[in-house]
Chains A and B, each alone.
Chain A
Amino acid sequence: MIIPPTDHQLEPKNWVKAYADYLYMYAITRINDEEQAQDLVQETFLAGLQAMGRFAGKSSERTWLTAILKNKIIDVYRKRSSGLKTQELTNAEGEVTNFFDEADGHWNKQNAPQHFGLDDYDPLQGKEFNHILKKCMEKLPALWLAVFTMKHLDDEPTDTVCADLKISASNYWVIIHRAKLNLRACLQKTWM
């Protein structure tokens, strides 16, 4: 049995070789922008060099660098959505808003859920509709997409998402709901 060393060491000379691709992949799946992802990898290494004195050796080098990158990604999320700060809960650009009748809250006929391919689709089996989902997700406002990514990719608890993105819990639920309504409608429209 190999006993792992209790104290991890930092070897910044090897960072690029050992972690650049991993960190780049980590960033790109979360922010979907190659150039920005590159910049973040660079910033992460440079910030890591600055912070070496504070490395306690309790986590692995990779975990430590990933944590730095993660904070930078959250900064990107915040920046991307800061334009929406005051209007995030009014109507987002391109958002469909007339799902329900204003008077009684009933589904409006043209936007109501109908049976379509999604119902029999097994996401674990096929990936052929991923491109439709991707397209529809790209239409969502940056803040909403950030919420979804943190929630589904990183399985972050609601409290963490709210704290990191600086949104209230009630806004969080409104965002989840609206994002879902819009995604569903977009899928139905594109898929059929």
Chain B
Amino acid sequence: MGELKRIIYNCQQATFLIDKRMEGKITFRERIELRIHLIQCDVCKLYIKQSEKINEMIKSLLKTPTGLEILLDDTFKDELQVKIDTQLNKN
């Protein structure tokens, strides 16, 4: 099977290129091959949409503060202050 033919029928390779393309890092040749694959593959087209959506979700999950501020335990802070003061007095 030729190189081109492999990608045309290969969803594994196509989805690999889809995820890579999202960062704009595929070659011209890969781009063409992917386009040809997508002409006849609706499942991979759906994969593109979902994969993009997942990136958005991850970003929004990671970047949104949880709502409640997570604060460091006060006792731990006090102990930490003591440690720092001790170090400072040594010098």
Contact = CB atoms under 8 A, between A and B. Distances in A.
Interface of A: 12-13, 15-17, 20-21, 24-25, 28-29, 38, 41-42, 45-46, 49, 99-100, 104-107, 112-115, 118-119, 121, 123-124, 127, 129-130, 133-134, 137, 148-149, 152-153, 158, 173-174, 176-177, 180-181, 183-184, 187
Instruction: Give the secondary structure class of B's interface.
Output: helix
Nearest to B71: A21
Interface in B41-81: 43, 46-47, 49-51, 53-65, 69-73, 76-77, 80-81
Interface string B10-26: 11110110011001010
Contacts of A115: 46
Contacts of B12: 99-100, 105
A78 to B, nearest CB: 20
Given A16-B77, A158-B25, 14 more contacts: A16-B84, A21-B72, A25-B70, A29-B62, A49-B87, A104-B9, A106-B11, A119-B50, A119-B53, A148-B58, A153-B62, A153-B63, A158-B23, A173-B20
B29 interface: no
B84 A49 contact: yes
A134 B61 contact: yes
Contact of B62 (A12, A16, A149): A149
B62 A41 contact: no
Contacts of B87: 46, 49
A99 to B, nearest CB: 7
B47 A123 contact: no
Contacts of B70: 21, 24-25, 28
